[in-house]
Structure 1
Amino acid sequence: MAEACCPASCGELIQGLINGSEKLISCPIDWYSTVEVKQGTAHQFDERPLMRRAVKAALKHLQIDESWHQKLSIRFNSTIPVAKGMASSTADIAATAVATARHFEQELSNQALAQICTSLEPSDSTFLHQLSLFDHHRGEIHRQFEWVPDLNVLIFESPTQLNTADYHRIPRQQRLKQNENRLASAIRLFEQAIQTKDVTLFGKACTQSAIASQYILAKPGFEQFQTLIEKFDLPGMIVAHSGTVVGLLCDPQQHDPDAIFTTIHHSVLQTHYPMRYMKKLIAGGVI
């Protein structure tokens, strides 16, 4: 028996057309999908559809006879909201692939895992152990960042679902092109924030990307979230560029999350985002 855990993401810190192709930097949080792979009879009610495909993809990469998948059972434990832009599928796929490799006492490199994930669907970069600029279509890791700010993420979940495949059917190339300069500015700010370990610049970069996303997949109550950032002097906001969730960055040493949640509870945002959580921003990586 082997087990692996992969974190969720509260949308993306940055996403858009960057240096000629669509790329993202996921926002990994301490919320995990845990997958167990062991020899035994497969039961469909114990797994999600992409998990079995992830087993097959891992076996193929490891050059193990694919028929082995019929002799492996999968069990998972995940409370990550599905089809909200929180990387639930990536967490399932990556954890399953790594657990499969571990079952056979082997390992998957970052690049191998990237190729496995993106062969099944456009994927987040949460399976990597550093914040990463990632081509989520081609599985290419363009840059990794060593610093992660000490921030909490106040997560606001909408009842509306949007799965990855449906998002990628939205005509958006023209809007992506129009936002290219804004994204170039956002990624420059992000890189400067990492180099100087500046939380304020980090938040500004994320907010710029969130604003650009409004032109492609608008979030209800966006202006009210911006008002909250000013009212509570928060670093910034993040959104699921291909989903419906919104996050506010919050310094655990400076900000009172209960006060922010209470303010939202008594505002129009309560209607749009009735479910709320607080998680910690992490570097990411399958464990």
Structure 2
Amino acid sequence: MAQAQCPASCGEIIQGWILGSEKLVSCPVNWYSHVEITTGAPRGDERPLMRAMVNQLLAYWQLPPRLTQTIRIDCYSTIPVAKGMASSTADIAATAVATARYLEQALNINELATLCVGLEPTDSTFFRGLTLFDHQTASTQITCKGLPQLDVLLLESPLTLTTAAYHRLPRQQWLKEHAPVLESAWRKVQQACADGNAALLGEAATMSAVVSQKVLAKPEFSALLGLVERYGLYGLTVAHSGSVVGLLLDCAKHDVDGVRGQLNAQKLQAHWPKSYLLNMVAGGVEER
């Protein structure tokens, strides 16, 4: 038996045209997909991408394809699906690491990145540290040093959007036009990590969220920005290819109950009926 877990993401801290192509920096939070690999027949209700990862790994290691029929995948995850929370990335990355351990094979981070994007555009949550990642080719992997400490009030919408559907949206021209804004936001992310500056990270995230409004708009966005200003929050992050929003803050410093009260008073809960107070984490797949 082998086990691994990978965190979800509250959207992306930044996503856009950076260093010559569309890239992202995920916002990992302490909400995990747990995967267990054991000997047994495949489950009838397993998630297809997880089996696809096992089959891809067998081909990569040049192992007999028939082995897949002896590998059972059990997934324990409550991460909302198709809302921009990197649920698929958490599933397939944890599956890959657990399978490697189960079959006693080596798997480094570069191989993991390549294998994940081989299945679908992938978030950067499996890196240990906030990472600028080319989520379609894995050709760029720049991990920041350090991690600002902050909390995330994640707002969950009932709306869903698959990664594939987002990538069909006509967005490239808009992203290229706003490349200077995202390049600046990326520099702020690097500086924020180096200095442990949560406010600067929030500023970068808000810059990217504003640009994202022209591609995939979030309802009542101005009202959310008003909450950030009113309560002196660090900023907000959005799922650039999904529906969740995260308010970046410090539970010890900011009035979380007041923010929640205003979400209700301004009827914003009509758009985000569920909320979760989480911690931003470094990311990375952990064997268990």
Report 1:159-174 matches (<5 A): 159-174=158-173
Partner of 2:35: 35
Secondary structure of the corresponding residue to residue 237 of structure 1:
strand
Report 1:64-143 matches (<5 A): 64-143=63-142
Number of aligned pairs?
286
Tell me the distance in 1 between the aligned counterparts of 2:5 and 2:139. Answer: 22
Tell me the distance in 2 between the aligned counterparts of 1:242 and 1:170. Answer: 10
Aligned-residue identity in percent: 51
For each residue in 1:100-126, what CA deviation from the matched residue of structure 2 results, as whole angstroms up to 9, or x when unmatched? Answer: 111112231101110111000000010
Give 2:42's aligned amino acid: A
Do the aligned partners of 1:131 and 1:144 also contact (CA within 8 Å) in 2? yes
Partner of 1:211: 210
Secondary structure of the corresponding residue to residue 99 of structure 2:
helix
Secondary structure of the corresponding residue to residue 73 of structure 2:
strand
Partner of 2:153: 154
Tell me the distance in 2 between the aligned counterparts of 1:255 and 1:148. Answer: 19
Secondary structure of the corresponding residue to residue 160 of structure 2:
coil
For each residue in 1:255-278, what CA deviation from the matched residue of structure 2 results, as whole angstroms up to 9, or x when unmatched? Answer: 132221121022131111111111
Query: Which runs of no fewer than 5 residues in structure 2 stay unpaired?
Result: none
Partner of 1:11: 11
Tell me the distance in 1 between the aligned counterparts of 2:106 and 2:251. Answer: 36
Secondary structure of the corresponding residue to residue 121 of structure 1:
coil
Do the aligned partners of 2:218 and 2:243 also contact (CA within 8 Å) in 1? yes
Query: Which runs of no fewer than 5 residues in structure 1 stay unpaired?
Result: none
- Which has the larger displacement, 276-285 or 193-202? 193-202
- Which has the larger displacement, 189-198 or 91-100? 189-198
Give 1:11's aligned amino acid: G
Q: How much does 1:140 deviate?
A: 2.6
TM-score for both structures, normalised by structure 2:
0.97
Do the aligned partners of 2:147 and 2:194 also contact (CA within 8 Å) in 1? no
Tell me the distance in 1 between the aligned counterparts of 2:229 and 2:177. Answer: 27
- Which has the larger displacement, 252-261 or 238-247? 252-261
- Which has the larger displacement, 167-176 or 193-202? 193-202
Q: How much does 1:70 deviate?
A: 1.1
Tell me the distance in 2 between the aligned counterparts of 1:133 and 1:156. Answer: 24
Q: How much does 1:149 deviate?
A: 1.1
Give 1:178's aligned amino acid: E
Do the aligned partners of 1:59 and 1:100 also contact (CA within 8 Å) in 2? no
For each residue in 1:143-193, what CA deviation from the matched residue of structure 2 results, as whole angstroms up to 9, or x when unmatched? Answer: 111211111100001110001001001111111112111111111222222
For each residue in 1:170-217, what CA deviation from the matched residue of structure 2 results, as whole angstroms up to 9, or x when unmatched? Answer: 111111112111111111222222233222211111100111101110
Do the aligned partners of 1:132 and 1:141 also contact (CA within 8 Å) in 2? no
For each residue in 1:62-112, what CA deviation from the matched residue of structure 2 results, as whole angstroms up to 9, or x when unmatched? Answer: 332222111111111100000000000000111111111111122311011
Do the aligned partners of 1:111 and 1:141 also contact (CA within 8 Å) in 2? no
Do the aligned partners of 1:57 and 1:97 also contact (CA within 8 Å) in 2? no
- Which has the larger displacement, 190-199 or 51-60? 190-199
